[in-house]
């Protein structure tokens, strides 16, 4: 497939996609959900073939969990689509309304970004979620998933594409790139792709950023932390910690590092170790930690590690400030949590930690577009420009300015014949 020519056609279709009514977009989403439900056996068969091939290739067990697309995953994505349909239209929202002068009115209106290229890891449910979000937000999408689930992705894409185009979406609404070399072709389409969203390792995201002129919204590692403050509640701390580490280890919002205040380490660590090892977690810690609990000794630089497995790094700190310094140094600016009953400590932690998500007394696994009420997410952005954290509908729109006049010219204002008065327009006046 010639990616450039296909994406160019998509760019030509993007204004038509942007102009579709919310009713058409929602009906297309419901049609896609129905198509997936009706073809579940075909989907599961393709996924079983992918799983078997991955097993033969020696794919790690932690990654294998991501590849699975079973009845539970199907129900989740369909529920996600239905929740997405219920959400308000992110397009044509009036973000600002201002009268510059009598009869000269300016509006800032939300609109789609246009053509978005999303390169994501081998997780079939991601394809469904990303497709749905792009449709709801009026964007055209180029999708490239991981090779480990190529068969599943192909079936899912074909089902969704056929359903939504039959429901009224333009032919250029979606495109699937299936070959690895097509990624580099996509990176060269700076004249017709408006945004790239890569999901994967830091190295992969950096590669994308360094080899394209297209704006990139990076979705990289998830090195998430939990800091247990000296004013903690063990009834909250232990369940939160176990959930954050074990609920789904392969997710980027799973906690990878535990920081514990030295004042409570002798009390807290044995309790935490018992709960974590009971849940199958392998503990790694500094030499100081190893003197309190049984664990593998690790070096300081190893705190950069994202395990995506039942492994947890542990370190002791003197203060909240030291915990913050560690997180800002070794973290990935994803999601970090403090366990404390001191509201001042909680607020200080949230102010000082430079991450997309900062939590108090709850699992880092809540960092998810569906759990935030976004319907789904295209990923979690650890950058600060345009969108940050779980990127849902609002992260997939931009805006344009609409100016309505009655024959006004700039010359009149330049010569002082007329003057701007810049008055906000009330909602009733719009």
241: domain CATH number is 3.40.309.10
Question: Which is it for the CA torsion 392, 398, 403, 404, positive or negative?
Answer: negative
Is the domain of 266 the same as that of 172? no
Is 405 among the domain residues? no
Phi, psi angle pair for 113, to nearest 5°: -70, -40
| Cβ 123 vs Cβ 248: under 8 Å | no
- CA triple 122-127-131, angle to 5 deg: 160
Nearest to 121 by CA among 130, 109, 111, 108: 130
What is the pLDDT at residue 396?
95
Q: Measure the CA–CA gap between 369 and 252, rounded to whole angstroms.
A: 13
Is the domain of 229 the same as that of 169? no
Q: State the average pLDDT over residues 364-390.
A: 87
Q: Which residue has the tokens 């514990």?
A: 260
Q: What is the DSSP letter of 368?
A: S
CATH code of the domain containing 9: 3.40.605.10
Q: How confident is the model at residue 47 (pLDDT cuts 50, 70, 90)?
A: very high
What is the pLDDT at residue 349?
98
Beta-strand pair 224-228/195-198: unpaired
Question: Which is it for the CA torsion 28, 34, 37, 39, positive or negative?
Answer: negative
Is 333 among the domain residues? yes
Is 351 among the domain residues? yes
In order, the DSSP letters of 17-35 are: HHHS-HHHHHHHHHHHHHH
Beta bridge partners of 119: 144, 198
Domain that holds residue 126: 3-219+378-398
Is 320 among the domain residues? yes
What is the pLDDT at residue 219?
67
Q: How would you label 40-61 residue by residue, b for 16+ Cβ within 10 Å and e otherwise?
A: eeebbebbeebbebbeeeebee
**pLDDT tens-digit map of 244-284:** 999 989 889 999 999 999 999 999 999 999 999 999 999 99
How many angstroms separate the most distant Cα atoms in the chain?
A: 82
**pLDDT tens-digit map of 79-128:** 999 999 999 999 999 999 999 999 999 999 999 999 999 998 888 999 99
Q: State the average pLDDT over residues 222-250.
A: 96
Q: How many domains does the chain have?
A: 2
Of the chain, the percentage scoring pLDDT greater than 70 comes to 98
C-alpha distance across the termini of the chain, in Å? 47
Is the domain of 320 the same as that of 262? yes
pLDDT, averaged across the chain? 94
What is the pLDDT at residue 205?
85
Q: Measure the CA–CA gap between 324 and 415, rounded to whole angstroms.
A: 56
Is the domain of 89 the same as that of 180? yes
Tell me the helices (H) and strands (E) count for the chain, helix number first.
15, 17
| Cβ 139 vs Cβ 115: under 8 Å | yes
Is the domain of 277 the same as that of 174? no
Is the domain of 211 the same as that of 99? yes
Is 421 among the domain residues? no
Is 63 among the domain residues? yes
Does residue 428 surpass a pLDDT of 60? no
Nearest to 326 by CA among 289, 296, 345, 300: 300
Is the domain of 213 the same as that of 230? no
Is the domain of 355 the same as that of 388? no
| Cβ 172 vs Cβ 13: under 8 Å | yes
Nearest to 119 by CA among 46, 183, 55, 28: 183
Is the domain of 247 the same as that of 146? no
Number of alpha carbons in the 13 Å side-chain half-sphere of residue 127: 35
In order, the DSSP letters of 98-161 are: EEEETTEEEEEEEEE--EEEEE--S-HHHHHHHHHHHHHTT-EEEEE--GGGHHHHHHHHHHHH
Residues found in the chain: 430
Is 165 among the domain residues? yes
Sheet holding 195-198, edge to edge: 174-176, 140-144, 115-119, 195-198
Residue 424, SS3 per DSSP: strand
**pLDDT tens-digit map of 273-313:** 999 999 999 999 999 999 999 999 999 999 999 998 999 99
Q: State the average pLDDT over residues 211-225.
A: 87
Structure tokens at 100: 């510059």
Is the domain of 26 the same as that of 126? yes
What is the pLDDT at residue 355?
95
Q: State the average pLDDT over residues 371-400.
A: 88
Q: Measure the CA–CA gap between 400 and 112, rounded to whole angstroms.
A: 10
Is the domain of 115 the same as that of 78? yes
Q: Measure the CA–CA gap between 242 and 255, rounded to whole angstroms.
A: 9
**pLDDT tens-digit map of 328-367:** 999 999 999 999 999 999 999 999 999 999 999 999 999 9
Whole-prediction pTM: 0.86
Of the chain, the percentage scoring pLDDT greater than 90 comes to 84
Burial of 88 (0-12, 13-18, 19+ CB in 10 A): exposed
Phi, psi angle pair for 354, to nearest 5°: -90, 70
Does residue 36 surpass a pLDDT of 80? yes
């Amino acid at each position: 497939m010639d990616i450039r020519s296909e994406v160019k056609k998509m760019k030509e279709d993007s204004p038509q996609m942007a102009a579709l009514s919310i009713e058409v977009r929602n009906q297309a989403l419901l049609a896609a959900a129905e198509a997936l439900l009706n073809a579940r056996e075909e989907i599961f068969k393709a996924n079983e073939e992918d799983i078997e091939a991955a097993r033969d290739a020696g794919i790690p067990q932690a990654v294998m969990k991501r590849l699975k697309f079973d009845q539970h995953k199907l129900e989740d994505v369909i529920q996600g689509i239905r929740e997405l349909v219920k959400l308000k239209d992110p397009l044509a929202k009036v973000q600002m309304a201002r009268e510059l002068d009598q009869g000269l009115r300016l509006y800032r209106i939300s609109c789609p970004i246009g053509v978005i290229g999303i390169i994501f890891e081998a997780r079939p449910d991601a394809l469904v979620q990303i497709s749905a979000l792009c449709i709801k937000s009026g964007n055209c999408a180029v999708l490239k998933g991981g090779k480990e689930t190529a068969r599943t992705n192909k079936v899912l894409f074909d089902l969704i594409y056929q359903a939504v185009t039959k429901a009224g979406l333009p032919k250029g609404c979606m495109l699937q790139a299936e070959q690895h070399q097509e990624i580099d072709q996509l990176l060269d389409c700076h004249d017709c792709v408006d945004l790239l969203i890569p999901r994967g390792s830091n190295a992969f995201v950096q590669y994308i950023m360094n080899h394209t002129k297209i704006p990139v919204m990076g979705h990289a590692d998830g090195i998430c932390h939990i800091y247990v403050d000296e004013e903690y509640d063990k009834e909250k701390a232990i369940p939160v910690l176990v959930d954050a580490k074990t609920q789904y280890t392969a997710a980027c919002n799973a906690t990878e590092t535990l920081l514990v205040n030295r004042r409570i380490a002798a009390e807290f660590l044995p309790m935490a170790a018992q709960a974590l090892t009971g849940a199958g977690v392998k503990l790694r810690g500094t030499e100081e930690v190893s003197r309190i609990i049984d664990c593998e000794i690790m070096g300081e630089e190893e705190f950069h590690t994202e395990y995506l497995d039942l492994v947890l790094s542990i370190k002791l700190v003197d203060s909240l400030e030291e915990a913050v310094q560690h997180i800002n140094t070794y973290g990935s600016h994803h999601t970090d949590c403090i366990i404390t009953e001191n509201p001042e400590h909680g607020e200080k932690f949230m102010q000082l930690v430079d991450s997309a998500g900062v939590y108090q007394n709850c699992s880092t696994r809540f960092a998810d577009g569906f759990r935030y009420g976004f319907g789904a997410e295209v990923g979690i952005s650890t950058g600060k420009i345009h969108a940050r954290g779980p990127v849902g509908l609002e992260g997939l729109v931009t805006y344009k300015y609409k100016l309505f006049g009655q024959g006004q010219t700039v010359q009149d204002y330049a010569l002082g014949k007329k003057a701007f008065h810049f008055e906000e327009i009330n909602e009733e006046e719009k």
